[in-house]
Structure 1
Amino acid sequence: MGLAGSWFATWCWAVASRRLPLALAAQLIVAETVFGLAYGFMFEGRLPSPTEAIGATMQVAGVCSAIAVFSKPRAPSSLSQKSVAQV
């Protein structure tokens, strides 16, 4: 089970890193940290302390804000408009 799970996670990471912009793919590392914390708290059978919960919440908020920035359509820059006009 561990070998299959590790192989599948590595495959998912490779697919995501090819399809996502670099700055957005880096957010996956933060998600890995938050899930690791969650599994650790479940293993220990306890809830996170307030500082641990705030830290994990701030990490998730950072990932959400990065996703929001990357999901907005970008307006063409003036430089690309000039180069298209010259062609």
Structure 2
Amino acid sequence: MKRSLPLVEKDSLRKMIFPSEEVLKTADSARERRRLIERATILSNLYHNKVKIVFEDREGSKAVDTTIWATTDFAIMLKGGAVIPIHRIHSIDLL
């Protein structure tokens, strides 16, 4: 049985501490994550599609359902100024 991750509010992201280590094991996985982030950013901005982002802070894995407003080389920005470092994102799924 798969354990469900805690679903957090995007406002709580500001208080989280993100370690500097990459969470993905391979360069191919990181490239695929980047592709999914770019796609999700476009869909969020054009159609207001929400995504489920699975990420890991220093306390463990969590998820957030939100729209992505912008993407930089190092982080994604959510509504209200919340930020998640890209190297801490496990997956992104369209909702």
- With structure 2 as the length reference, what TM-score do the two structures score? 0.28
* Larger-Rg structure: 1
Greater RCO structure (CA 8 Å; 6+ sep): 2
- With structure 1 as the length reference, what TM-score do the two structures score? 0.30
